[in-house]
Amino acid sequence: MYLLLAFLLVPIIEIALFIQVGGIIGLWPTLAIVVLTAVLGTWLVKSQGRMALGKLQSSFQQLDDPTEPLAHGAMILVAGALLLTPGFFTDAVGFSLLMPPVRMAVFRFLSARVTMAQFQMGAGAAQSRRNPGQQGDIIDGDYQDVTPKKPRQGPSGWVDGPDQG
């Protein structure tokens, strides 16, 4: 239902804003603003995306929870799509998603409504996926081969004699 509403309302809002802004400043300045915001938005998304990727790599290297850097990266991706979409409303939403305080507020809002059942990183994560009931204990021990030995029949124990084969 919300998606249908968004698909109906966003184009109506964009058309109304194009008519209003075009009536005030004219056709060519309006088109120039749309192209300028797309170029500026692409540059900002590229720089913000690099920073988000660096934070994500850092969280993986330090074995931290990557949820927040992944969410920021996803929001930057959505911001890029909105900034490349022609329109003033989508540009405003896209530029706002490029601001870290807005992204943090959206992240807090969404994380309060999402329940995570389990999150595990490190060597024990793969073991617990294979055997969920076990914790992956490691038992260290020695062994001794008690298999009965065959008597030697060749010139050495390594190679059988010519008539043994």
pLDDT tens digits, 65-97: 888 888 999 999 999 999 988 899 999 999 999
**What is the pTM assigned to this prediction?**
0.65
**Is the pLDDT confidence value at 4 over 80?**
yes
Mean pLDDT (whole number) for 120-148: 64
Mean pLDDT (whole number) for 137-161: 70
In a domain, 149, yes or no: no
The tokens of 60 are what?
A: 């993986």
SS (H, E, C) 92-112: HHHHHHCCHHHHHHHHHHHHH
**Is the pLDDT confidence value at 163 over 60?**
no
The tokens of 42 are what?
A: 């692409």
In a domain, 1, yes or no: no
pLDDT at 138: 74
Q: CA-based angle 33:39:42, to the nearest 5?
A: 135
Mean pLDDT (whole number) for 92-103: 93
The tokens of 142 are what?
A: 């020695």
Residues in the chain: 165
In a domain, 20, yes or no: yes
Q: Say how far residue 41 (Cα) sits from the centre of its chain.
A: 21
In a domain, 155, yes or no: no
Q: Structural domain of residue 15, as residue ranges?
A: 11-113
- Among 106, 71, 88, smallest CA distance to 32 is for 88
Mean pLDDT (whole number) for 144-158: 70
In a domain, 96, yes or no: yes
Q: Give the Cα separation of 47 and 94 in Å (integer).
A: 14
In a domain, 83, yes or no: yes
pLDDT at 120: 64
Q: How many domains does the chain have?
A: 1
In a domain, 141, yes or no: no
pLDDT band at residue 159 using 50, 70 and 90 as cut-offs: low
In a domain, 164, yes or no: no
Mean pLDDT (whole number) for 47-75: 88
Which of 49-58, 104-113, 156-165 has the weakest average pLDDT? 156-165
Output b/e per residue, 5-19; b: 16+ Cβ within 10 A: eeeeebeeebeebbe
Instruction: HSE, CB side, 13 Å, CA atoms: give it for residue 158.
Output: 0
